[in-house]
Amino acid sequence: MYIGWLKFVDVPELVKIAEETGWLLDGYHVKLMMMHAPHMCYGAYDEGALVGAVMAIEFESSAMIKYFMVKPTHQKQGIGRRLFNTLFGVLKEEHPSLYLHANPQLKSFFEQSGFESLMEVGRYLNVGKVPPFSFTNAQAKELDGGNFDAILRKIDFEIFGENRMHFILDEMQRNSSL
């Protein structure tokens, strides 16, 4: 078992592990993370096969840990702890503020490292014709206007206290060759 940096060829296996562990993982987004911060994308390998991963995105003064997962067949063997400690050791020295997007079942695991739960985020999938969010007409007009980026920047800055627009736009926008 060894911990190393994730490679683009690992993405299909990472998607499979995500499906097995209940994560919603977008291979395109993972590749973007690997391009922007390859030194923050770690994998656990057992005899050369990917069995777990953890990734992070760095901002001006904070970082967000994402996609922390271990294949069900390899859980409860210390692999997740090794993965997490590898990334956490790098991040905690350079970033005064760390937050994570994680599985609620791992709450006690993260509390052992000093994290505290501030909010829970639900998972919403739009499987029908009705949009998953309910906006008032005034909110919809505000978002539909040409100042969407400015409004988003303002709200995000009020919450996080730093400029995260590059990340947000990568998360929300896709370029298409069509």
DSSP state letters, the chain: -EEEE--GGGHHHHHHHHHHHT----HHHHHHHHHH-GGGEEEEEETTEEEEEEEEEE-SSEEEEEEEEE-GGGTTSSHHHHHHHHHHHHHHHH-SEEEE---GGGHHHHHTTT-------------SSS-SS---HHHHHHHHSTTHHHHHHHHHHHHHSS--HHHHHHHH------
Instruction: Give the pLDDT score at 127.
Output: 56
Query: What's the mean per-residue pLDDT of the chain?
Result: 83
Higher pLDDT, 29 or 91: 91
pLDDT digits (tens, 9 = 90+) for 88-118: 988 988 888 898 877 778 888 888 888 888 7
Distances (CA, A) of 27 to 24, 105, 106, 112: 10, 23, 23, 30
Higher pLDDT, 177 or 30: 30
Mean pLDDT of the 148-161 span: 82
Q: Is the pLDDT of residue 17 over 90?
A: yes
What architecture is domain 1-116?
3-Layer(aba) Sandwich (3.40)
pLDDT digits (tens, 9 = 90+) for 63-78: 989 889 999 999 999 9
Instruction: Give the pLDDT score at 8.
Output: 95
Which residue in 162, 136, 134, 164 sits closest to 149, CA to CA?
A: 164
Q: Is the pLDDT of residue 134 over 90?
A: no
Which residue in 102, 76, 77 sits closest to 87, CA to CA?
A: 102
Instruction: Give the pLDDT score at 163.
Output: 85
| Structural contact between residues 40 and 87, judged by C-beta atoms closer than 8 angstroms | yes
pTM equals: 0.76
Highest-scoring range by mean pLDDT, 18-22, 49-53, 104-108, 112-116: 49-53
Instruction: Return the percentage of the chain with pLDDT > 70, whole number.
Output: 80
Residue with tokens 């490679």: 7
Domain ranges (residues) in the chain: 1-116, 126-178
Instruction: Give the pLDDT score at 132.
Output: 53
Distances (CA, A) of 101 to 63, 114, 139, 161: 11, 15, 27, 18
| Spatial distance between the Cα atoms of 116 and 55, rounded to a whole number of angstroms | 19
Instruction: Give the pLDDT score at 13.
Output: 96
- The lowest-confidence range among 9-13, 26-30, 167-171 is 167-171
| Res. 122 pLDDT band, cuts 50 70 90 | low
